[in-house]
A and B are shown apart, each in its own frame.
Chain A
């Protein structure tokens, strides 16, 4: 299958200098961290250095050059790491940070299956060794009508997927989050969703230069509550598409099942592109509350990434394929 490749975005920069605002935010975090005791222990911010086993990763993340940013204020490290939807670690927004240590990320591996030439079990080390880490500052828009701006560290998903040599039959790629029936995470003890959490992308979406696999944020190793050790970031789709703590990647010919679609097909479609004109039955998607702001702001088509992604959906009725 010929992959549709979208030219790299004009916003991609070679800028290796940390954005000044971001720098200030970091300073601010360090200060507020010292002012201390927001009721959250530091170990939650710096989860057990889970990826320490992957040699030199934290240095690589810390030194990663910025390749993309948005002209908006970056959210604080504290906001990003204490306000999370990660049902595996609890349903409340504050639960994931409290239960962060329940997620064990040492000796992590990812099963690669389906329509590809190189299936198998890959350790995180295998996966990361040949890849360069970069920093990208993306908008992040939750279906619940709130949003943040987050500096991720990671690599384009395409760089990873190409190594598995997907075959011509690979029309979609499916992902799964960690789930051990015998030893479930705190939030997996109740059937809030049909575990394991599953997500998927069409192959061209997966190969789009914007689609990112993150192993860190704010220049640090990914905190557990944000989906350590490795999570997807698809900035033009609602947040739930950006699946966390990935243990399985499968290339398929058919559109894969996705968790929220299974739970409530009328409210959550497979595509779930950010679209202010297609209303969710529960939340108006026309506006959003940027975390840290009082009033809501207008939501942008494809979360502001229209130029980079709209061509993939040319001719599709986005009201039907929501």
Chain B
């Protein structure tokens, strides 16, 4: 399958604005329900849960971009990845800020206690730190200057995903269906890449036996392409 690129102008002026609109929708609905007083007796709880869940959903969406681009033969999908990733951080930043402001009253001592004592906060914080690093290194200029290091750093997004799912799993009290669904999707996305990576390795090793001189070059190209 091959979906042709609609061209740079259409991507910039049509596809990206639509994507912005879609990804901001959860914020719009949360804010409007909040002001209409329709978030129930404990709106802070609803907003904490919703921003956390949307952050995780959008994180998984960002991880699905590359596999989708491969499957649909549409390399231009990759141009949406940064935008999606930044929306993920936007929701997680709200999630974290609400917690810090309304649950902890901005007391960093409480935050430290929570990070140490409560393992679901420990892993959530780990995930947050990763997403923060990825967000601040997302501008094109910084990416260029960082070179290979940037690629390495941004591979941590998988760890952020795993920690995010663990955070969800460990925060639930009785029903873990949802975290397992998200965990399953994450596993599929990671598995897709793992399989591709292994296939390339096997191929590069077998071709390198035939032509030993090019082993390094093959290996290297397989590594960098697998991201």
Instruction: Establish whether residues B174 and A291, one from each chain, have CB atoms under 8 Å apart when the complex forms.
Output: no
Given the contacts A87-B174, A93-B42, A291-B42, A296 and B117 also touching, CB distance less than 8 Å:
no
Instruction: Establish whether residues A295 and B174, one from each chain, have CB atoms under 8 Å apart when the complex forms.
Output: no
- List which A166-222 residues lie within 8 A (CB) of chain B: 190, 192-193
| B40 in the interface (beta carbon within 8 A) | yes
Instruction: Establish whether residues A91 and B175, one from each chain, have CB atoms under 8 Å apart when the complex forms.
Output: yes
Which one of A9-17, A223-231, A279-287 is at the B interface?
Answer: A279-287
A-B contact count (CB 8 A): 56
Number of interface residues of B (CB under 8 A): 22
Q: Which of chain A's residues has its CB closest to B174's CB? A: A192
Instruction: Establish whether residues B40 and A93, one from each chain, have CB atoms under 8 Å apart when the complex forms.
Output: yes
- A250→B104 CA distance, assembly (Å): 42
| A289 in the interface (beta carbon within 8 A) | yes
What per-residue 1/0 map shows which CB atoms of B147-181 lie under 8 Å from chain A? 00000000000000000000000110111000000
| B41 in the interface (beta carbon within 8 A) | yes
Given the contacts A281-B118, A284-B110, A296-B103, A193 and B174 also touching, CB distance less than 8 Å:
yes
Q: Chain A contacts of B45 at CB under 8 A?
A: 93, 146, 289
| B94 in the interface (beta carbon within 8 A) | no
- List which B76-134 residues lie within 8 A (CB) of chain A: 102-105, 110, 113-114, 117-120
- A292→B105 CA distance, assembly (Å): 16
- A294→B102 CA distance, assembly (Å): 7
Given contacts A93-B41, A282-B120, 15 further A-B contacts (CB under 8 A): A39-B38, A78-B41, A91-B175, A94-B40, A190-B175, A192-B174, A281-B119, A282-B118, A282-B170, A284-B117, A289-B45, A289-B103, A291-B41, A294-B102, A296-B104
The chain B residues found within 8 Å of chain A, CB to CB, are 38, 40-42, 44-45, 102-105, 110, 113-114, 117-120, 170-171, 173-175
